Structure formats: structure tokens, C-alpha cells
Amino acid sequence: MCMDALELFCNVARHRSFSKGADRSGITQPAASQRIRKLEGELGVQLIDRSTRPLRLTVAGRTYYQGARRILDRYERLIQNVAGEGRGFRGHAEVASIYSVDQGFLLKIREELEESHPDASIHITYLHPQEVYDAIRTDRCDVGILSYPDRWPDLAALPLKEEPMSAVCHPAHPFASRVNVTPEDLEEVPLVGFSPRLPISRGILAYFRRHGVQPRVARTFDNVDSIKASLIDPSAVAVLPERTVAQEMERGTLVTVPLNPGLARPLAVVHRRDRDFSPLLEALVESLLGYDSVKPPSYAAGVGA
């Protein structure tokens, strides 16, 4: 079995699509389908259930996928060890991230790595938190980026950074000229928040509870962009990671006001404990962890909360 065939199967399995897997492998969809059928014929088992959309792996397919991923990662490490650093990294890495992460720094890391290593490619998908966990567990991504990560025995987390959070409001809001605002100040205004099912929402509400405050949540959304758009209402205030409003601050359309006491949300790079890291994936994770000098406290014995 050649490495190209293993890589094709992994691409189809990961994307749960012949067309996407073929595109990632640089071949046509009919060719990809034909090669997978040939592989199934050689093995004498069905690897992919084609009756569903998106495609699903059979039990045998999942076993084969796990083994194929390990073979590919170890093969790439072997090539890297033999050829040395001058060869550069090659291969593909998949990242799944929550929407509210500062997307600018992820794109910058991807651009820097792909520029330094022309044979490498990194794809970033933005999902809701539970979808990120699902993608990690099912190997549809190599690593995930999450805030307030849960503790799971099968997952490990590498502390990424703590993102300072601030009160955010319209320039016409009375808070806009304040040096800082307290939880008690925020109790008096309509708060635009995150959907209660999101970890960031639970983190913000826990902050208020610690200070004996019950905020008046007027509206909730499941993404940062909708929250920012709602702040056209001069009476409303939100609590957001500062970096997510950098562009609006530059344009003067929104204002951030520091919280007193402060609040920061922990971010982590999460991966399966049994994941074998290819040289490219190692370089990607090192770049992520080294990008920001502000590190959160250690909570990676399991997956930290």
C-alpha cells in the first residue's frame, strides 16, 4: 500500500466526502472513488458507508483510518529525520476552532508556516464548541482551539493563553468615557450576552456571581459578530474578549472599557491523547503556543476548565 493511497483514504474519511477528499489529494472525484473501491476490494471489507450524507466510516473503516493516520504521521517523521530540517515540513493539518477566537492570529500563523514550508497546508474550520469536541474525537481535525475546555479522559489540553475581556459599548454610551466599570455598574444596564449553552457565557455569568451581581441579560447570540452588531443600541453593553473588537475600536464604532476586577478567559489547544503528531503538526502547535506571551495557569493535567 503506497502512502498516496493511505493519504487519499484519510482525506476522504476526514472530510466525509469523496469530492472534498479528492480535492485535498489533488485528483478527481471519480478517481478517488475508484481507488477507494479498489482498496476495499483488496481488504475484502467495506470501509465507507455510502448510503448516508455526509459519508460515514464503517467499524472496519474507523479502525483502518486510525491505523492509516498513525502510519502517515510516522512516515513523515521518518522522512524529516532522514532528510533534515532543510527539507521543510510537508503534509496537511486540520484545525477546528470556536468562532470567538481571534481569527487574525490563526490566519497569521497559517500564513507564516505555509510560506516557510511550501509543501505544507493548514486548513482552519470555525465551529461551535461541541462541534469542535466532536471533530477532535472523530479525527476530523488534528487539534481544536477551545475556551473553558472540559475535562475528558480521552482528551488533553495545552494551555494557550488567557484573553483579557472588557465591557464593550457604543461610543455614545455613558460608560465609554469611564476608566473602568465594575460588576455592580453592569448590573444597571441591559447586557447583550452569549447563548447560555456556550462555555464563554457560563464563564461570564460565573464572574458576576462571584461578585454577588445578577446581570440583566436583554438578548443573547451564539456568535461575536451578532453581539457586536447589536451594540448599535447606545444603551446596551456586552462583555467580550478585547481582541475580537480590535477593528471596531480602530474605526471608532465601539469602545472597550476595562473591567474592575478584571476577567480573562482561558484558551487551550485540545487534542486526542492517543494522537501521533507529525512534524508539521508539532510545528503548528509550537507556533500557536509561542504566539502570545501571556500564558494561562496550568490546567492541562486533564483538559482544564
**Could you give the domains of the chain?**
1-87 (1.10.10.10), 162-266 (3.40.190.290)
Q: What is the CA radius of gyration of the chain?
A: 22
Task: State mean pLDDT over 82-89.
Answer: 65
- pLDDT at residue 149 greater than cutoff 60: yes
Q: Over the range 101-112, which residues count as b (16 or more CB within 10 Å of their CB) and which as e? A: bbeeebeebbee
Reported as a pLDDT band with limits 50, 70 and 90, residue 305 is very low
pLDDT band, residue 294 (cuts 50/70/90): very low
* pLDDT for 261 beyond 60: yes
pLDDT at residue number 2:
79
Report the pLDDT value the prediction gives residue 4, as an integer from 0 to 100.
85
In angstroms, rounded to a whole number, what is the distance separating the alpha carbons of residues 115 and 123?
14
Reported residue count of the chain is 305
Higher pLDDT, 90 or 235: 235
pTM of the model: 0.73
CA distance 197 to 128: 10
- What average pLDDT does the chain have? 88
Mean pLDDT of 156-184: 95
Q: Outline where 195-278 has alpha helix (H).
A: 199-210, 224-230, 246-251
- Spatial CB neighbours of 75, under 8 Å, sequence gap ≥ 6: 3
What pLDDT was estimated at residue 91?
Answer: 82
